[in-house]
Structure 1
Amino acid sequence: MSVKNQSRAMLLGGAAVLLWSTVATAFKLSLQWLSPLQLLGWASLFSTLVLAIAVSWQHQWGALCSALKARPVYYLLLGAINPAIYYLVLFRAYDLLPAQQAQAINYTWALTLSLLAVPLLKQPLRRRDMIALGGGYLGALMIATRGDLLALDFDSGEGVALAMISTLFWALYWILNARGTAPATVMLLICFLVGTPLVWALMAWQGELGLPSWRALAGAAWVGLFEMGVTFMLWLGAMRSAVHVSRVSNLIFLSPFLSLVFIRYLLEEPIAPATFIGLAMIICAVIYQQRGGEQNES
């Protein structure tokens, strides 16, 4: 049982949010040298290695084997979604769209979760959910059209569609993930042990094997470590250490705005005013929806 320490929780949570805020920039930089499939292949490999080290450190290989043996089909499905399908769709969206658009649209996955919960979890769609969905998706449309809502003129219609589809897969992954009983790090490593070979098999089929440049590998390593691996463990540690979990979880709302800072100054991508407005709409919608859930539970 972990010792509760709010200062430690805030420090770990802040570190996780800061690292997550860099990944949209890392995606775009890495995609200058790698295809979406290659970036996924190398990043998932780095993530698998760091997660394997974590599981070894925690002496949880027995739990991993037991979990995989008990529910192989379940973990095959999870691994196919994350990392394989979800990140392939997401990276393709980033390849087609400005980083500010792809990262903001992807942030609507929390809203998509409530939609999928209706058929999959038999949960009713409340009035609060519908208001949040309307506001959040209007914000996503604001970002995708750079504020010209009536013209519906996208930088890439395919990119916007893929960014939206990625939210479906991410929400589906978390719905299925909630049904698991293994420790969180163990579950994540199983997913990568299943999904990474699938990605590499697809790379071989597409003829995209080969050793990339050191810059490409550095970018993939950053994505693998800080989008898929180390950051997840920092966040998990923050949640376990927190006395007041809500104070830590609210830090996540800083991430998309910090991400815009990195996008602006490292990618030198001008941030459209519509991006700030749309992102604020999405975050307000998510907060509004989540607070409704907390009130219902209390």
Structure 2
Amino acid sequence: MTARQKALAFGLGTVLIWSTVATAFKITLSHMDPLQLLLCASTVSVTLLGIILAVQGRLDKLSMSAREYAYCALLGVLNPFLYYAVLFKAYDLLPAQEAQPLNFTWAITLSLLSVPLLGQRLNKGELAAILVSYLGVLIISTHGDLTSLQFTNGEGVALALVSTVIWALYWIGNTRNQCDPVAGLFFNFLFGLPLILGATLFFSELPPLNAHGLLGALYIGLFEMGISFVFWLTALRLAAQPQGGGTARIANLIFLSPFLSLFFISRFAGETIRTATFVGLAFIVAGNMLMQRAGKR
């Protein structure tokens, strides 16, 4: 396979994984609470990332300065601890067809936070993109009844949007992180794990020995929190090569994910997808695409 074909294969593999995780979240949360799920999945993820580094012969990347360890620990508070605790709670309160598109607005949130935190400026096209995306949020959250502004679950909607802020802060923080990305993610999860365990013991209890719940957590830890990240990095690295076809081509694959996700939610989570969800998601994706084009200009 050429570099272009490999980049496309890894990119599509990542999108396929991302498309299944909303369904996995919702099904697994019917067997354990959000903190229990986070504890199990994070344990799996940190183990997997360590194995990946060992298999790739990159354990030397784990050697860092004290300052870099401290920075990775700080980022670990954001992800996995706060981000997934908030996101899983949102999925616990909302139908998956609502939580997933709302979480997809993180790229818009990233653009907004880049103004005060990175000193960037938004042009008119980017501001229009933000309005289009958040109109989609309103359509989904109110089931299309915009005049009432009554949310089906206000707390769930708020948590889903807060998760986008945490995720955006994590990636902005990563712009200043100079360590190997997989090693950095490994330490994020490693340093975040004690916080997750403490929160689970304080606010909940250790996960039940439920086969369905544990298998779901295993899937989420392996794919959502581990393999998808490595696949995406590999796809972008291959696409950046002279014959790779360009990273923009691979990055655009992300827009397939939320629509595929609705198929899996309908098929396996048993939710009937509302028309308002399709319409709202179309606005959110259109806003993301407009933001991408306006940013280039």
Fold match (TM-score > 0.5): yes
Q: 1:190 aligned to 187, 192, 195, which one? A: 187
2:70 counterpart residue number: 73
Which segment drifts farther, 37-46 or 239-248? Answer: 239-248
Cα deviation, residue 246, structure 1? 1.6
Shift of 1:280: 0.8
Q: Which residue of 1 aligns with 2:296?
A: 294
- Give the counterpart of 1:216 among 188, 213, 218: 213
Q: How high is the sequence identity, in percent, across the aligned residues?
A: 48
Map of 1:3-22 to 2, 5 A cutoff?
5-22=3-20
1:173-197 Cα offsets, whole Å, 9 max, x none, are 0000111111111111010011112
Runs ≥4 residues deviating over 6 A? none
TM-score (norm 1): 0.95
Q: Verify the 8 A CA contact 2:32 2:208 in the aligned structure 1.
A: no
| Deviation for aligned residue 1:62 | 2.6
Q: The residue matched to 2:267 in structure 1 has which SS?
A: helix
5+ residue gaps, structure 1: none
For the Cα contact (< 8 Å) 2:106–2:165, is it kept in 1?
yes
- Structure 1 pair 4/191, CA: closer, same or farther in 2 (3 Å)? farther
Q: Structure 2: which amino acid aligns with 1:91?
A: F
Cross-structure match for 1:129: 126
Change (3 A) 1:207 1:157: closer
For 1:97-129, what per-residue CA distance to the aligned partner results, in whole angstroms no more than 9, with x for missing partners? 010100000000000011111111111222122
CA contact (8 A) 1:4 1:241 kept: no
Q: Deviations over 1:209-245 (max 9, x none)?
A: 1443111110001111111101111111111112122
What are the ranges of 5 or more consecutive residues in structure 2 without an aligned counterpart?
A: none
Contact kept in structure 2, 1:142 and 1:274, CA below 8 Å = yes
Aligned residue number for residue 59 of structure 1: 57
Match of 2:274 in 1: 272
Larger deviation, residues 71-80 vs 107-116 = 71-80
Q: CA separation in 1, counterparts of 2:125 and 2:207? A: 50
Alignment of 1:79-228 (within 5 A): 79-228=76-225
Supply the AA of the counterpart residue of 1:290.
Answer: Q
Q: Secondary structure at the match of 2:225?
A: coil
- The 2-side partners of 1:197 and 1:238 are apart by 32
8 Å CA contact 1:4, 1:240 repeated in 2: no
Aligned-partner SS, 1:71: helix
Between stretches 41-50 and 244-253, larger displacement belongs to 244-253
- Looking at structure 2, the residues matched to 141 and 207 of structure 1 have their Cα atoms a distance apart, in angstroms, of 32
2:226 corresponds to which residue? 229
Preserved contact between residue 136 and residue 283 of structure 1 (Cα < 8 Å): yes
Normalising by structure 2, we get a TM-score of 0.95
Deviations 1:28-75 (A, max 9, x none): 0000011000001101111111101011122333322315x2323321
* Matches of 1:134 and 1:74, distance apart in 2: 34
Aligned to 1:256: 258
Note the alpha carbon deviations across 1:249-288, whole angstroms, 9 max, x for none: 1111100000000000111101111111111111111111
Q: The residue matched to 2:50 in structure 1 has which SS?
A: helix
**CA distance in structure 2 between the partners assigned to 1:126 and 1:94 by the alignment:** 33
Measure, in 2, the Cα distance between the counterparts of 1:209 and 1:119.
40
Give, in whole Å, the separation in 2 of the partners of 1:150 and 1:212. 46
Deviates more, 1:207-216 or 1:284-293: 207-216
- The CA distance in 2 between the partners of 1:278 and 1:178, in whole Å, is 31
**Given that residues 21 and 256 in structure 1 are in contact (C-alpha distance below 8 angstroms), is that contact kept between their aligned partners in structure 2?**
yes
Residue 36 of structure 2 corresponds to residue 38 of structure 1:
yes
Number of aligned positions between the proteins:
292
Q: 1:128 to 1:211 in 2, by over 3 A?
A: same
Which segment is superposed worse, 79-88 or 238-247?
238-247
